[in-house]
Structure 1
Amino acid sequence: MPSELKKLERRKKAQKHLDEISGREEHVLVVHYSCESFYDRPEGQTPRVTSIAARNYASGQTASFSIHKIAELKGVPFADIDSEYDKLEKDMLKEFYEFMDKHKSYDWVHWNMRDINYGFPALEHRCRVLKGKPVELDESRKFDLSRALVSIFGNKYIGHPRLVQLMEANHITARDLLDGPGEAAAFENKEFVKLHQSTLRKVDVLANILGRVIDGSIKTNATWRDKHGIHPKIILEFIAKHWALSLLASVVGIGSGIYSVFF
């Protein structure tokens, strides 16, 4: 069973980072991207990226990068996107990383963008595969809102899929938003504009959720004890961890026993 002290430490760390973010809203970006399915890939290739969006939390201004926009700028007909995909994706990622390089000191809030399947590492890998040069963002500048919510409210704070359930609990509209399978289907059908709209909608939703977490209005299934990180086991774990208190507790226990025998 997980240590309650460890969970309390994670909660404090997540809350501290959240407090820092709320104090510098102008320097916070909410980021999300869409790609082809990262399941059913027997040869192990990383999925192609179709669009990326980065929204300034304070102003709401959103920088977006997409295959269809690059194709339009390059004069590539829609019917030829498939044959030019590598070049278009490389140019899109180049544009995105130029933006990131200018905003490396910002906090980048994301939802589960953690690994080579889906996340910052996946974007970096795609860029390298296409012979581009990604910008590596310092880990301290990344804030995984999904993990932070688990740390702050406990892993039962909402049902699965968490983002969808959280939207429903807080009456956030799902207009234009596609789930994972929906994005994969849109990619197969070459619905790049639809994918881009979904990406833009997701950064809007994540910014909405972030704002509610910061101002304390977010609705979850978490109990009062979950929200405040209070559990009786914390006291026992704290005493066990600090031998002096443990010894004192033992002495008090022995003393109480002697008193009960003789008095």
Structure 2
Amino acid sequence: MKTLKKWLLFFLLIIVFTSGCSKSTTEDNGKKIIKDFFSNSYEYTATYYRTNEANKKSKLCVYEGMLIPNPYQQYENLIEDSSHSTSLLASYSYTSNNVTYRRMKLRNENDTFWTAEQISERQDAIYNRQNLVLRLKKKEKNLATFYTEYTDTLHYDPDGRNIEVPYINQLEYIVDLKEQEIKKIVINTEESEKAVAIASLMQNGFSKDEAESNVVLGKDYFHSEIIFEITKVNNDLDIPTPIQ
């Protein structure tokens, strides 16, 4: 009997030890895949979703995109506009002499036109950031989901006033451990929508505390997310400069 108890204890220890090793290996491997991924060029679709007052999730629009990390270039083209609400038809972002620019093809009631502006950071900075603390959320077969969050700040400067509203971005990276690549990136944009609503009230004379107390989920901002699906990792990408 004592011998049997020793063997049972021995096997239990093996199970606990190997389970711990398996999780650690998955976590380390997944983090490395995420880190290494962003040194590649890739193609993707970006789908924007919103959940309305009736708790119904609807697709707003879909962009098809491609990105080259170095030197940075990123191009997106609108391929679906379910809500008929977006004016952004295409965008081209690039870095030159350590400055990042963005050209946008917009539409109004009568015409389409290109604009250009200098921007503070790359478009992919929302999900490609240094020093993110990644945590393994779940693993199903070959797919592992990693979760992270970080604080960002909305800067709004109407009429020379400097309005700043901090908010939290929440992200998930779905990694295929077998193929060694990211399949999806899910970004919860509810807090950034809320920050825009707060800034709008502050522009109209509300204090920050008053604005935070008065914005209403489902009226001023909504449950929303962006899902990036990586369709192809392609280091031979060539992004032509769009003609304005």
- On whether the aligned pair clears a TM of 0.5, the verdict is no
Q: Which of the five TM-score ranges fits, normalised by the shorter chain?
A: under 0.3
Judging by fraction of residues, say which structure has more helix: 1
- Whose strand fraction is larger, Structure 1's or Structure 2's? 2
TM-score, normalised on structure 2? Answer: 0.27
Larger radius of gyration: 1
Larger RCO, structure (CA 8 Å, separation 6 or more): 1
TM-score (norm 1): 0.26
